[in-house]
Amino acid sequence: MSWGLRNVRLARGGVVALAGVTVPADPGRITVIVGGDGAGKTSCLRVLAGLTEPDAGAVGRPARDRIGYVPATVGLYADLTIAENLEFTARAYRIPRAERPRKASELLELTGLASARARLGGQLSGGMQRKLSVAMALLHGPELLIIDEPTTGVDPVSRVELWRLITRAADGGTAVVVSTTYVNEAARAACVVLLEAGAVVRSGRPDDILHGIPGVFGTALSVGRPAPLSWRRGAAWRVWAPSGRLPDGVSPAEPDFNDAVVAASLAGEREGRA
């Protein structure tokens, strides 16, 4: 059984938050929703989790006790210890009393939080809070795991550890849907959904998205912008030429997934203006 959104529409206060968005959520696979601020990532996840009713479209999800959800605001109790946060979650999901210590210990070891189990949630670092919130969402072995921007504001080491947790959940058969603003994280997904202003610009496997961008890519070291469809990367400019012809002074370059995502966004903007 698979879940997700199909052609979902959502408008609030006259603003279109989602315009016919489809996001698959398949067991054992990670779907990553990528987009900038206001693209509709959180709206997608809230509809999938059942927190917001869409105006149109279909939503598939398992029963509430089979969903794990981590909001962008972390969602843990600052005045409870790590152990108490997990215990509350275990009670809320009616995990049998005999199984609670084992499950909690497993997750605390996996997240590296075992030595801090007596520390209050409000005293944890950002990375530790994120790991705890993911642990709380995994405690009951959900069939669908939904995480909103798990690595925003988190140090690089914690970011790697969080993705290890997420990947482990998918390897265990959980359908995982994650939103992120970090394009490089989307590259590890089985399916990427690129959102721009509430609409899907591209969707599919990272390789398919990469090879599905028409034209050629190049790089330039000029001081000023070398072409209208260009963006900074480090000290150089990356250039996209949908026509297949690079401007003078621009050298051909092999595109990566970052380039594909930026180009897809630019293409989406152009289609919107047209």
Partner 1 sequence: MLAMIVKEFRELRRDRRTVAMLVVLPVMLLVVFGYAANFSVHDIPTAVVGPGAAQAAATVAEPAFHVTEVDPAGDEAGAEALLRDGKAVVAVVTGAAPAVLLDGTQLFSTQTALAALSRQSPSARPPVRILYNPDLTTSWVMVPGLAGLILVFIGTLITSLGVVRERQSGTLEQLAVMPLRAWDVIAGKIVPYLILAAVDLVLIVAIGMGVFHVPFVGNVAVFALGAALFLLVTLGMGVLVSTVSQNQGQAIQLAFMLVLPQVLLSGLIFPVSAMAAGVRWISYVLPLTYFIEVSRGVMLKDTPIGALWEPIALLAVLAVAVLGLAVTRFRADLAPAGRARRPARPAVAQ
Stretch that binds partner 1, among 11-19, 49-57, 158-166, 249-257 (CB under 8 A): 49-57
Alpha-carbon distance of 49 to 98, in angstroms, equals 28
The CA distances from residue 173 to 9, 89, 95, 107, in Å, are 29, 21, 19, 17
Beta carbon of residue 123, minimum distance to partner 1 (angstroms, whole number): 14
* Triad 193, 51, 77: Cα angle to 5°: 105
Beta carbon of residue 111, minimum distance to partner 1 (angstroms, whole number): 17
What is the helix, strand, coil percentage profile of the chain, to 5?
35, 30, 35
Q: Residue holding tokens 């919107």?
A: 272
Q: Residue holding tokens 């969602």?
A: 75
37 touches partner 1 by CB under 8 A: no
Contact 148, 52 (CB under 8 A): no
52 touches partner 1 by CB under 8 A: yes
Measured from the CB atom, is 65 or 207 closer to partner 1?
A: 65
49 touches partner 1 by CB under 8 A: yes
Residues 135-154 that bind partner 1 (CB under 8 A): 136
40 touches partner 1 by CB under 8 A: no
Stretch that binds partner 1, among 32-40, 90-98, 243-251, 264-272 (CB under 8 A): 90-98
- What is the per-residue binding string for partner 1 in 54-83, x denoting contact by CB under 8 A? ----xxxxxxxx-x-x-xxxxxxxx-----
Q: Which of 11, 16, 55, 93 binds partner 1 (CB under 8 A)?
A: 93
Q: Which residues pair with 60 in a beta bridge?
A: 4
**58 phi/psi in degrees, rounded to 5:** -115, 145
The 8-class DSSP code of residue 80 comes to S
Residue numbers at the binding site for partner 1 (CB under 8 A): 1-6, 22, 24-26, 49-53, 58-65, 67, 69, 71-78, 89, 92-94, 136
